[in-house]
Amino acid sequence: MKNIKLLLILALALMTSINISIAQETTEEEAATFSFSGSVDTYFRQNITAPNKPVDGAAPGSSFANTPGFALGMVNLIATGEKGNVGFTADLGFGPKGADAVFLSTGSSSIVNQLYAYWNVSDKVTLTMGNFNTFLGYEVISPTANFNYSTSYMFSNGPFSHTGLKADIALTDNFSAMLGIMNPTDYTDFNPFGTYSLGAQLGYSNDAGSAYLNFVYGDQDGTLNERTASMDDVSSGATFQVDLTTGWDVSDQFYVGFNGTYNTTSPGEFFDGNIQDMDGDAGGFLGSALYLQYGVSDAVALGIRGEYFQTYVGDATADITAITLTSQIGVGPLTLIPEVRFDTSSEDIFIDTDYMPTSSLASFVLAAVYGF
């Protein structure tokens, strides 16, 4: 009798243990993670060799940080969630910089910087659909991820974002690849043209750094389909861009980064009642930038960005060289970024203090970036 009771007690304990284990596994499987992060940035900008007014030629031809005096960047709010092998990111930008970052968006979604869902199909393959920031280039929209506060000409000439479907593939522990099909560049809300771009990336990374070779190809403004137009119109041809981004920790204090890019758009079509090929010249841009950064202490770092940038149409070119000296000073989650920038052009695209055309511009920026 005692043995029967003991067996019943052991069976009950075993069943209870199994039920608890199943309940724990079910809870773990159903548990979802959610996080909230973002940043706030503001800045002061003062020209050294040009008027401090919002007039043509009184700011670099790059994106953001171009308003004189005390000015606003953006509030960046990022929500992420994941449950099992699926998840999402909702990234919103408010303020002047946020509006510039999504300049081709319209309507209520104009505050959307990124909005996508993903599925980790396996340990090696992730599918992502929606609007995501570009995989090309060294710099990004978020001020917390850039060392320099002002941006390069290569970054400013895009692309900024893509909307589409991409597959990220882990080839080995160090090598990765990405393939994607996307709307025309920076048309994030929807596709207004009915044409698509193809994207691809091959990457390598290890503990010291990484290198990524990126490609985009496609018609960015759509083939002209409106046959009843009352005015002549032009549709450019396909755009091809190849981009190399790499960065390496040379030592615990010293970091070296590089970005090189080449973009070309072929002549397109001309509409005068019929569609016909154009005999014009291809146009685009190319450039390269070197990023050197040195950590003086845990709270202070110094850096320099040297960039060469060229735009071209056929054989006609215009060149710009920009040198940016930057320091980052950390005060907890707040980063102060003083910066001096020198821009020099082959053309007189800037103005001096007498509002006369000139080929150079010197300016100073002090930014405050709070990340959370």
Q: Quick one: 260 exposed, middle or buried, by C-beta within 10 A (0-12, 13-18, 19+)?
A: middle
In angstroms, the Cα distances linking 293 to 114, 139, 333 are: 28, 14, 20
Task: Give the pLDDT confidence score for residue 194 in this predicted structure.
Answer: 85
| 275-277: strand order across its sheet | 233-235, 269-271, 275-277
Among 210, 218, 259, residue whose Cα is nearest residue 241? 218
In angstroms, the Cα distances linking 83 to 27, 78, 129 are: 11, 17, 17
Q: Given pLDDT bands bounded at 50, 70 and 90, which one contains residue 269? A: low
The whole-angstrom separation of Cα 211 and Cα 108 is 37
pTM of the complete model: 0.85
Task: Give the pLDDT confidence score for residue 275 in this predicted structure.
Answer: 47
Q: What is the pLDDT of residues 210-246, one digit of tens each?
A: 999 999 999 887 654 444 344 445 567 889 999 999 9
Q: What is the pLDDT of residues 288-315, one digit of tens each?
A: 999 999 999 999 999 999 999 999 998 8
Q: What is the pLDDT of residues 161-180, one digit of tens each?
A: 999 999 999 999 999 999 99
Task: Give the pLDDT confidence score for residue 4 in this predicted structure.
Answer: 45
Q: Quick one: 297 exposed, middle or buried, by C-beta within 10 A (0-12, 13-18, 19+)?
A: exposed
Task: Give the pLDDT confidence score for residue 34 in this predicted structure.
Answer: 96
Helix (H) or strand (E) holding 259: strand 254-265
CB 253 within 8 A of CB 275: no
Q: 337 phi and psi, to 5 degrees? A: -130, 90
Q: Given pLDDT bands bounded at 50, 70 and 90, which one contains residue 10? A: very low
* Residue bearing the bigger pLDDT, 286 or 231: 286
Task: Give the pLDDT confidence score for residue 281 in this predicted structure.
Answer: 77
Domains and CATH numbers, the chain: 34-371 (2.40.160.10)
Least confident of 103-117, 137-151, 156-170, 341-355: 103-117
Q: What is the pLDDT of residues 89-133, one digit of tens each?
A: 999 999 999 888 887 665 555 789 999 999 999 999 999 999 999
Q: What is the pLDDT of residues 317-344, one digit of tens each?
A: 999 999 999 999 999 999 999 999 999 9
The whole-angstrom separation of Cα 359 and Cα 5 is 96
CA atoms within 13 Å, Cβ hemisphere of 8? 5
CB 255 within 8 A of CB 278: no
DSSP code per residue over 61-96: SSSSS-SSEEEEEEEEEEEEEEETTEEEEEEEEESH
CA 150 distance to own-chain centroid: 14
Least confident of 46-50, 144-148, 264-268: 264-268
